Chains A and B, each alone.
Chain A
Amino acid sequence: MEEYNSGDEVIFNSDEANTIVKECIEGVIGGTDYDQSKVNQWTANIVEHSLTHLVKQGRPFKYIVNCAIMQKTGAGLHTANSCYWDTATDGSCTVRWENRTMYCVVSVFAVAVAL
């Protein structure tokens, strides 16, 4: 059982989350080229690892992690997201990563758990 810090309101630290997610991405697809057969694995791994690390922080948040990997073919891509939540405590962070052959976008949403 894990316990949280008592009393203080927890605010989502997006920088920390940023770092965590980046490391995860690097770990999974850093140095590789886009491979249609492996890309399923990659997205699954990225999401799982990011989530595990975030949860390990032990903060009272609900997390939603989304990962998209797109091959570089010259096409354009545009996504947007918006949330309605407790702006004081909740937050999100989006990490863009690319190499020569692909783009990777990971979004993390953290919603504070109220009790």
Chain B
Amino acid sequence: MCAYSFFNVHFMVFVCRRGAVRLGMSKMTQVDFVPRELVSYSKETQTPTETQTHVEQKPEEEEDEEVAAPPPAEETQEEKDEQGEQQEDDTPKELTEEEKLQVLHSEEFLSFFERGSRIVERALAEQVDVCFDYSGRDLEDKEGDLQAGAKLVLNRQFADEHWTKNRVVTCLDWSPQYPELLVASYNNNEDAPHEPDGVALVWNMKYKKDTPEYIFHCQSEVMSAGFAKFHPNLVVGGTYSGQIVLWDNRSNKRTPVQRTPLSAAAHTHPVYCVNVVGTQNANNLISISTDGKMCSWSLDMLSQPQDSLELVFKQSKAVAVTSMAFPLGDVNNFVVGSEDGSVYTACRHGSKAGITEVFEGHHGPVTGLSCHSSGGPVDFSHLFISSSFDWTVKLWSTKSTRPLYSFEDSCDYVYDAMWSPTHPALFACVDLAGRLDLWNLNNDTEVPTASVSVEGAPALNRVRWAHSGKEIATGDSDGQVQVYDVGEQICVPKADEWTRFVRTLAEINENRDEAEELANV
């Protein structure tokens, strides 16, 4: 049925259509606007009701901690407030694995981590006694005053499971700038061939943490090590391969920042002696290897020695140097001890550069040398002591080629000896049986004034007085470093020690001359 309708402009004309109309349901259309989420939270504070009136220290400290805890919590809630109002989805972006690794290996992270872990380790190990009563009322309960009668007390023992096990301590040195720092060098660990052969650890006496302050290592066993006297950040090491290595604790590296070349111009034999001599503005690193070669280096440039000298005796015999010592204040003349049992004096510069004199007396290789170093009213810098495999420590004067005195109390190889830096008549020596002896020549020259044996009787390799003269560090063959406190009545010199020592020396000299006369007769 078609129909045409004519209407006015506003109406339309329709087309006819045939067929039935089929009706069906359409798809439902939905419109959805999600309501904004309102973040709600509750805030609570709890005022402390008790413990406000306590006078003692400990509860107050705890309160401080409590009061400190709520403010941070309040702050975070205020932050949430601001975030809620912003309406933005500001969730922190999750880093990918690669990005995480990149951050972990970045320079800033590593240096922060190293610094941070050092500080946290110290804090965790501290156990300070806050209830200490300085008036002494509490001391009666304690086991008697420890320092009054004791002569040598073990203060600390340093060892590290990873770095010092199965290694032998080869050298010790105290830092001149920070009296609590001590460097110990170790040789190789035969049970761990993949670990670096040479290790030097810097230990810290001030804090109770028992891990090293700094860990340094290098490819060859470190036979001698020391803090560079005028450069507080540098540690020098002499190695078995003849290389001298320099570590810097400012860099984050554990490997040396500078190394001397392995060439004939430098050393090709183990370097047992390294020392920095001179003054702040004019100093040199002196090193001597066991083939008698002595090199002097500038710490800024280790690529070649400034000066080198062959130490030969009587133009033919090279001296196999095992130990070296410079007298107090002297940068030119020094003494060396050698494997053949003799001690030599030598000088660095001048027409007679080289070996000057030989001091014979030991029957075995000389293991340690120490020049008298305590300054005082009387100058004893011509005296030095030497220790040797022949079980003795001998006292010498550079003025005479025969020993002044021989200390024969030990029953085993004496490995090292050192004068006290503060007491003119006191020196320490260590031997293979694990004994540390302190000799006070003003008291007795026949037997040591104080003696202590290390637990387990390891062989003690090195002994070093701290610069204060009140502590002694010893290193042993098990890789342990022990630090002993010396009783004040022993290590602190009284005013008349120097004059007494003059008399002691005079006696020693007399006795020696008498003994010679008797021998000659």
Question: What is A's interface to B at a CB cutoff of 8 Å?
Answer: 1-7, 60, 70, 74-88, 90-92, 94, 96, 103, 105, 107, 113-115
By a CB distance below 8 angstroms, the chain A residues around B22 are 86, 88
Name the contact of A84 in the complex, choosing from B26, B36, B38 (C-beta under 8 A).
B26
With A6-B15, A94-B29 given, is the CB distance from A86 to B21 under 8 Å?
yes
In the complex, what distance in Å separates the CA atom of A75 from the CA atom of B34?
A: 7
Name the contact of A86 in the complex, choosing from B23, B27, B32, B38 (C-beta under 8 A).
B23
In the complex, what distance in Å separates the CA atom of A74 from the CA atom of B39?
A: 12
By a CB distance below 8 angstroms, the chain B residues around A86 are 21-24
Q: Which residues in window 30-62 of B have CB below 8 A to A?
A: 30-36, 38
12 chain-A/chain-B pairs, Cβ below 8 angstroms = A1-B6, A1-B9, A4-B15, A60-B15, A78-B32, A79-B30, A82-B26, A82-B28, A85-B24, A94-B29, A103-B33, A115-B16
Is A77 touching B32 in the complex (CB atoms < 8 A)? yes
Question: What is B's interface to A at a CB cutoff of 8 Å?
Answer: 2-3, 6-7, 9, 12-17, 21-36, 38
Is B36 touching A78 in the complex (CB atoms < 8 A)? no
In the complex, what distance in Å separates the CA atom of A92 from the CA atom of B26?
A: 9
Classify the secondary structure of B's interface with A: loop
In the complex, the chain B residue whose C-beta lies closest to that of A75 is B35
With A4-B15, A113-B14, A115-B16 given, is the CB distance from A79 to B28 under 8 Å?
no
With A77-B32, A87-B26 given, is the CB distance from A2 to B14 under 8 Å?
no
Name the contact of B15 in the complex, choosing from A1, A84, A87, A115 (C-beta under 8 A).
A115
Is B28 touching A76 in the complex (CB atoms < 8 A)? no
By a CB distance below 8 angstroms, the chain A residues around B26 are 82-85, 87, 90-92
Is A80 touching B17 in the complex (CB atoms < 8 A)? no
Name the contact of B30 in the complex, choosing from A3, A78, A113, A115 (C-beta under 8 A).
A78
In the complex, what distance in Å separates the CA atom of A86 from the CA atom of B24?
A: 6
Is B36 touching A80 in the complex (CB atoms < 8 A)? no
Enumerate the 3 nearest inter-chain pairs by beta-carbon distance, A residue then B residue, closest first: A76-B35, A74-B36, A83-B26
In the complex, what distance in Å separates the CA atom of A86 from the CA atom of B30?
A: 20
In the complex, the chain A residue whose C-beta lies closest to that of B5 is A115
In the complex, the chain A residue whose C-beta lies closest to that of B33 is A77
By a CB distance below 8 angstroms, the chain B residues around A75 are 33, 35
By a CB distance below 8 angstroms, the chain B residues around A83 are 25-26
By a CB distance below 8 angstroms, the chain B residues around A96 are 31
Is B24 touching A80 in the complex (CB atoms < 8 A)? no
By a CB distance below 8 angstroms, the chain B residues around A91 are 26
By a CB distance below 8 angstroms, the chain A residues around B27 are 82
With A1-B9, A74-B35, A84-B23 given, is the CB distance from A114 to B17 under 8 Å?
yes
In the complex, what distance in Å separates the CA atom of A92 from the CA atom of B27?
A: 9
Is B17 touching A70 in the complex (CB atoms < 8 A)? no
Is B13 touching A3 in the complex (CB atoms < 8 A)? yes
Is A80 touching B12 in the complex (CB atoms < 8 A)? no
Return A48 CB to nearest CB of chain B, in Å.
Answer: 15
7 new A-B pairs (CB below 8 Å) besides A80-B30, A114-B17, A115-B2? A2-B13, A4-B12, A78-B31, A82-B25, A82-B27, A84-B24, A103-B33
In the complex, what distance in Å separates the CA atom of A27 from the CA atom of B32?
A: 24
In the complex, the chain B residue whose C-beta lies closest to that of A96 is B31
Is A105 touching B31 in the complex (CB atoms < 8 A)? yes
With A60-B15, A76-B35, A81-B29 given, is the CB distance from A115 to B24 under 8 Å?
no
Is B34 touching A76 in the complex (CB atoms < 8 A)? yes
Is B31 touching A77 in the complex (CB atoms < 8 A)? yes
Is A114 touching B21 in the complex (CB atoms < 8 A)? yes
Most buried by A among B9, B13, B33, B34: B33
Is A115 touching B3 in the complex (CB atoms < 8 A)? yes
Is B29 touching A92 in the complex (CB atoms < 8 A)? yes
Return A22 CB to nearest CB of chain B, in Å.
Answer: 15
In the complex, the chain B residue whose C-beta lies closest to that of A77 is B33
In the complex, what distance in Å separates the CA atom of A113 from the CA atom of B27?
A: 20
Return B447 CB to nearest CB of chain A, in Å.
Answer: 94
In the complex, what distance in Å separates the CA atom of A5 from the CA atom of B6?
A: 17
By a CB distance below 8 angstroms, the chain B residues around A88 are 22
With A85-B23, A86-B22, A88-B22 given, is the CB distance from A80 to B35 under 8 Å?
no
Is A76 touching B33 in the complex (CB atoms < 8 A)? yes
In the complex, what distance in Å separates the CA atom of A94 from the CA atom of B38?
A: 29
In the complex, what distance in Å separates the CA atom of A91 from the CA atom of B23?
A: 12
Return B88 CB to nearest CB of chain A, in Å.
Answer: 13
